[in-house]
């Protein structure tokens, strides 16, 4: 039996009915047998502040860092805000990267899927996040790239993934499963 890799999934949108969260849940359902996707919540993380991180960090920081550290890989599902990632996701990246020299991200195989109602599918956020991942030592899957535009049509009114989108997400998550396995060998 092959190893099952635990994937920390970070959803950049905090909205309860977020399309990005729906995509993350759809990916979890489509995931190959070697991946177990777990959404790691970021909405309750206090803004990163070194003054409150010294000594005894906030419990939310410690819990988050432990969840990312104990995962085998990371998957980011994010919208685009002003050609970048949403503030809560950037904050989570900062919290996980500290204290300096003890980053929870280091060496974890990663991938990004950006989801947007706009036509270019969050291209700016996707590439801005890739810049941060280089510094954080997260080897990021290069292909297939995943930009989902027109996100309002990805799910029907009952919340079911459209049949035309399913093959794209299946190909993405299958490739990611192979990427994680290759990077972890």
Give residue-wise pLDDT tens across range 102-141: 999 999 999 999 999 888 889 999 999 999 999 999 999 9
Asked whether 87 and 94 are in contact (CB, 8 A), the reply is no
* Mean model confidence pLDDT for the chain: 95
CA distance 3 to 150: 36
Quick one: average pLDDT of 79-100? 95
User: Is it the case that residue 143 has pLDDT exceeding 60?
Assistant: yes
The per-residue pLDDT for 55 is 86
The per-residue pLDDT for 168 is 96
User: Is it the case that residue 159 has pLDDT exceeding 90?
Assistant: no
User: Is it the case that residue 1 has pLDDT exceeding 60?
Assistant: no
Number of domains in the chain: 1
The per-residue pLDDT for 103 is 97
Give residue-wise pLDDT tens across range 7-66: 999 999 999 889 999 999 999 999 999 999 999 999 999 999 999 998 899 999 999 999
Burial of 148 (0-12, 13-18, 19+ CB in 10 A): buried
Query: 86: helix, coil or strand?
Result: coil
CA distance 47 to 81: 18
Listing DSSP states for 28-84 in one string gives HHH--TTEEEEE---TTPPPP-HHHHSSS--HHHHHHHHHHHTSSEEEEEE--BTTB
User: Is it the case that residue 152 has pLDDT exceeding 90?
Assistant: no
CA distance 18 to 13: 6
In residues, how long is the chain?
185
User: Is it the case that residue 4 has pLDDT exceeding 80?
Assistant: yes
Residue (of 109, 113, 114, 117) closest to 185 by Cα position = 109
The per-residue pLDDT for 16 is 87
The per-residue pLDDT for 66 is 98
Edge to edge, the sheet with strand 147-148 lists 35-39, 5-11, 73-78, 110-115, 147-148
Q: Token digits for 22?
A: 């729906």
Confidence at 166, pLDDT banded by 50, 70, 90: very high
CATH no. for residue 9?
3.40.50.360
The per-residue pLDDT for 95 is 98
Q: Token digits for 31?
A: 């995931």
The per-residue pLDDT for 185 is 83
Asked whether 152 and 23 are in contact (CB, 8 A), the reply is no
| Token pair 């706009």: residue | 118
Residue (of 40, 38, 12) closest to 27 by Cα position = 38
The per-residue pLDDT for 75 is 98
- Domain of 113 in residue numbering reads as 5-184
């Amino acid at each position: 039996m092959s190893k099952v890799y635990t994937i920390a999934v970070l959803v950049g949108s905090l909205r309860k009915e977020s399309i990005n969260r729906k995509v993350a849940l759809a990916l979890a359902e489509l995931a190959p047998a070697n991946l177990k996707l777990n959404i790691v919540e970021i909405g309750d993380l206090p803004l990163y502040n070194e003054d409150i991180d010294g000594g005894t960090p906030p419990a939310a920081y410690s819990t988050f860092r432990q969840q990312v550290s104990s995962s085998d890989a990371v998957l980011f599902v994010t919208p685009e805000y002003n050609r970048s990632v949403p503030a809560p996701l950037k904050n989570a990246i900062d919290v996980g990267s500290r204290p300096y020299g003890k980053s929870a991200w280091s060496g974890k195989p990663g991938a990004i899927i950006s989801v947007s109602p706009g036509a270019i599918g969050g291209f700016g956020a996707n590439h801005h996040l890739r810049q941060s991942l280089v510094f954080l030592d997260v080897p990021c899957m290069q292909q297939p790239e995943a930009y989902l535009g027109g996100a309002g049509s990805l799910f029907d009114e009952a919340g079911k993934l459209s049949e035309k989108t399913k093959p794209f997400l299946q190909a993405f998550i299958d490739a990611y499963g192979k990427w994680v396995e290759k990077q972890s060998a």
